[in-house]
Structure 1
């Protein structure tokens, strides 16, 4: 049987039409096909962009720019005024303009053979130029009709350091409940990939990529100092030895002297930045290599800082090493800016105010006949320092100016008082001092002073509780050190001696009455910006919880007779993070309590913990017993009051712990990232119980229970 088709006769016009249709079908471009006809594969993963790939009139394959770049680890910014596009990936920066064939790669002009366009509100660019500019590979599979692009991970010269306490790690550059993939604590350093408006794209150590808000992070360079950070301008370009030499003899730690200094993963500028440390920070010294110090950042983490921006601090590793009576010298911690002169008070005492204005509140009294060091002049006002180290403003008309002279320490006498022991330190004028507590002694450093004691007064045996003996010596040039060796615990206070002839120190059996306690409600708005801390699933802000608990704690302590200072009592705080500790040091606080709520990437994590910091072989190490005892006392009482999981006492290198000179702790009351504990933390009744628990712990610590 013959094929029936042979009987079908086609007209010539129909044959021509069929041939044209077949020809068009074979040559059909992606632009004429459905958007899904050409597939797009990025680094081996098939994607589905909103606007599909197509071939333009110049026979060039066009791809959606932002979709590709954000999937391939690049930042894209739109320059509206010039209809320009800036793409940043690693060390490469591309710039193109809509409708223009002119482009730039790292500033070098390139002429394209087609132009970027906007299609359905999406910027489309030639795929070959993008791929080649970033040293990538492009492929085409004719069978599956697939465009594939492969780009290696960018070699970035920058990193991003988290500056917020706990910052959300998001899968996309936007605030959304569904895109949080992690929580990053302050100090976390991530690989910088790119930017998008108010966001940094970063890569975490585990390989995950995501976005963090620029408001809570800062871009830091690996091959150059971080913005504002300081490092030697002429670093040796040779490869540094990764090994560390033994610690320097007689040195246990270093102090940062630059404004903001990079801490690196190795001894050289080529190593990545782990952290940025402010001036005045003290770190334990592990070793040295060439022009670099190896320092202890946490109990398990070390880093390196340039010797150009740090200074060694003399060791105090021996139990009795306080620099007196034959021991090795230790460090004096008082800032060393030069005084302008002395304010000599007349026959009547004078009020010292919080600011250079008669409407300011009173912060202290300058005794009649006293001489106060002048540190600053503003109009007709002087910034002066009182005996307890606190500074305030004095109307210049109420005092007489005298050239600055070191205070002469001329005598020491210990005597019994109704409440304990008084130590009268006679001097040519009232002096300011700093104090620090070690396990069995209190150290008093008098800066700007010389020792002129009668022979035999360098050591005075007392042997009446709580004071065993008093020792004095010219610690270093310009600093007199007095040591109170104790028999058990003791509370310290002071007052100016009569007619400004020195200072009277009072030591008594420890009671909460009169104890100077600084409460630090974590976070808040400080001079560096808004810092909300962690945010709970329901939107509860850690800073608000911290403040509520702290205010309740302050009320309990004041009712018990304690002298309470707060780093903030509202939203704003006048101190940066490091300055919170310096404030406590300046007023010679006995105890420092920083109140926080914890956070975790896991919403299941819960419980209470308390932190202290006192590394062995450092000045803080001499307080290790006291700091641990305070931490354990508060942790035990807080867990008993709240009934949450006991996560224990931990040690970590928090700024407020490493920079305070008195026993200090950081309390993590509960996890704000846990839905149940977030609700508790927002409950005033729970806040009151938390305050009561901390109060009980402080009371037990002071009483020795």
Structure 2
């Protein structure tokens, strides 16, 4: 065998080996297939989902079956029509524009036919049907939450004995009919504190949000407003909360009083004792039998309200002046006589927090109203800030300026951390810089740190560019049970009110949602959606350092108010 032949043979084997090795290496680094979860349940696909232009495309047939949507295919125009409850979505193969209920919407990635399979953009489909869509780059998983296959994803249950159904979202609209406690209706739309529902007759109408409870509620829906003893359940600021004159007469609002579970006989309010100290008011409310109650605050002007359920006002004075720098007077009125609800309204002259507790026999309610020592409450506290998204997951993308949510979240977190540090708090991030992080890892990091408070920072997005505003979420299925849930609600309420005061945006309310980061944490935890990237005006605001700093200051103020309210020495 010649030397040249042996050299050629060696080179050939070397090249073959390199090819085999490179093929082996390539096979080793092939990405994991994309997984899709609908309400935590995995969806099986005959054809694997693909990523195009940063968006996940999934097979139409499988995803429509998983969502419970009806599908029509027009082969002539190559148009797909998806129908779920009252929503109709139309997509055309290759077109970067879709229709939702006849409204044109832009698509980041159009529907396509790949290897004979019709592939549609999952995020668009999910969000168009009211779901919350999250991408986990670590596990290459898309989670679609809030839709229930095969049935209406949003339905409400009436929680009041009688509730007006109106022709529009507000008490200035005509009352069409009344509905009763326990009746269920599909939700067609929302507007501020009102739900549009479909009645058994087929007609539609509007009901006010705080006298109903959502069943199978989505993350974008209002919170469960069913009252619980001692829990703050605010009905919002859009209605007149009371019309109690100095004489004690009451002109009740259009809708009925909050729901409750009455005993056979109403309680009678017997006595109210008020003691004042420096920047503190102590209140004791005594009734002749057991009572349940709801507390909430209203602004413009600032008021603290207690509703005593199944209670009549008796012969107590209807107006009492309070000799305090934080509250001017207490007004008492018979808010509703069917059912019986007695309302106590404290007219406030300072920003306060409060603690309320019922006696063992629930005949006496004790309340402390005081000006919080925010700085003192923050000193030594351990706060975990979770800048949402990161790395390969940009979150929402602004449609006008192209802002990436992950960057705005991080900027707000860094500003809030600087402020918290200045007040003596210890601050930890779930992510540092632009990195991927699993949702469960974020919750684990907070739990492992022994945090006092967890705040996940997000910006919102919607298919409609006109939608805007601020919302704060807490979990109704949180670890550590009812006490943790109530404290998370209180934290959410303080932060939401603070965000509204600092930002001046529309109030989207305190809401319940089953997000992993606030469900799996063991301390009071909330997730904020400060503003909408899909809204051109609010996206522009996010480019301004002053606006991002206002979000941060609102967070610090809300956290401080909450921690101060937990101070047992108050």
Normalising by structure 2, what TM-score?
Answer: 0.40
Higher helix share: 2
Normalising by structure 1, what TM-score?
Answer: 0.33
Higher strand share: 1
Larger Rg: 1
